[in-house]
Structure 1
Amino acid sequence: MKKWLTIAAAVLLTACSSGADNKSYYQLPVATQSGGKSMASQGNRLLWVEQVAVPDYLAGNGVVYQTSDVQYVIANNNLWASPLDQQLRNTLVANLSSQLPGWVVASQPLGSDQDTLSVNVTAFHGRYDGSVVVSGEWLLNHQGQLMKRPFHLEMKQKNDGYDEMVKVLAQGWAQESASIAKEISRLP
């Protein structure tokens, strides 16, 4: 009888512990525009989003969380559904496409008369104080002229958890996309 109780306890513990290995996958949402506007890009101005680079600590699968001034944790069970640099590039292209009428924005070369945008993201993570951090710099080559701008955003999460953190990170990235679009729209 004791043997069966031991086996039953082992099976029960195994069943409970297997739930601890559940993984969650996150994808950055793309900001949508309302008003019936077509998402198809048309125009005579061309912008190639050449790259969005991230440092090694952000390039892995795990969502990053800063636990102190000097320590970062890369999650094992809260993972990016696709590489973060790809997600950032895809959402940037989508956001700029909707915010720059008259421009064709793409993630591949468009021709010899294109402007080229490169972004270096240095921070894209949650933080112990309930904030998220989105920072880096972007470089635009417009008709042979270079324009370089740093960015640094800190935004507060309203709720705890990775779902909320990813949503606020996406809002910060959308806000920076709008800032880039505003600068580009001023170009001659």
Structure 2
Amino acid sequence: MRNWRLFCVVIISGLLVACSTPPVAPSKEYLLLDKGQVEAEPIATKSVAMHLLPVSVAPYLLGTELVLVSSQGEVFRSQNNLWAEPLSTQLTRISQQSLEHRLPDITWFGHQSVPVDGVYQLNLEVDAFYADLDGNVHITGRWQLVSPARELLQVETFTIVEPLQADGFPAMVNTLSHLWLEKVVQVVSTQISKDLL
């Protein structure tokens, strides 16, 4: 009889805990994609080697959560809409893929071994990569092109603020991806082609 009471107490306790725990919404994970590579025309340059350093992002962007920022600077992190991998890794990958397509005469190095001599360096830094509460996306940062002799050839900043075309996190990710490639990487590739004619 005592075992029966103990069994009933355990079952009732389990049911109470199960009923009191709110259901957890499933999370969605997103990747930045380059959907317009086929449309971009390759640009001729001299044949050089270029090391694309990993894209650095501001510390508040290092988490896996997609970020919204209020006009007062309050940061909101989505708990159910996440990056499938670190933002820095994604930005580096789609940047290199796009640059390889747009500047095919350049031999691009990423994480693989880089030759010691005769290599240019491209550095991209991101300060903002988010949507605000008014329905705009923000991308800001800077890029530097360094010669093999370690001379600074080009330093530029970028500031992009554009409205979302639709509501929701999928639209936010698509807009951020599109703007990164068209307003940052394309501008960088055009400038590099001018510097390396």
Matched, 1:21 2:25: yes
**TM-score, normalising length: structure 1:** 0.83
Tell me what 1:164 maps to. Answer: 171
CA distance in 2, matches of 1:13, 1:118: 51
Measured after TM superposition, the shift of residue 168 of structure 1 is 0.3
Cα deviation, 1:57-103, whole Å, max 9, x if unaligned, reads 10001000113332110111111000000001011101111111211
TM-score scaled by length of structure 2: 0.79
SS in 1 for 2:38: coil
Distance 1:106 1:161 in 2: 35
TM alignment of 1:69-148, pairs within 5 A: 69-108=72-111, 109-111=113-115, 112-144=117-149, 145-146=151-152, 147-148=154-155
> Which structure shows the bigger proportion of residues in strand conformation?
1
Q: Alignment length, in residue pairs?
A: 174
Find the aligned partners of 2:171 and 2:104 in 1 and give their Cα distance. Answer: 31
CA distance in 2: counterparts of 1:136 and 1:34, whole angstroms = 26
SS at match of 1:180: helix
User: Displaced runs of 4+ in structure 1, greater than 3 A?
Assistant: 7-14
Cα contact 1:31–1:174 (8 A) shared by 2: no
Q: Using the alignment, how far apart are the partners of 1:55 and 1:128 within structure 2?
A: 20
Superposition deviation, residue 106 in structure 1: 2.5
Query: For 1:87-130, what per-residue CA distance to the aligned partner results, in whole angstroms no more than 9, with x for missing partners?
Result: 01011101111111211222134322111011110000011111
Identity %: 25
Root-mean-square deviation (CA, aligned residues, Å) is 2.5
Per the alignment, in what secondary structure is the counterpart of residue 51 of structure 1? coil
Displacement of 1:32 after TM fit?
4.2
Partner of 2:54: 51
One-letter identity of the residue aligned with 1:185: S
- Residues in 2 aligned to 1:118 and 1:166: alpha-carbon distance in whole angstroms: 23
The amino acid of 2:160's aligned partner reads L
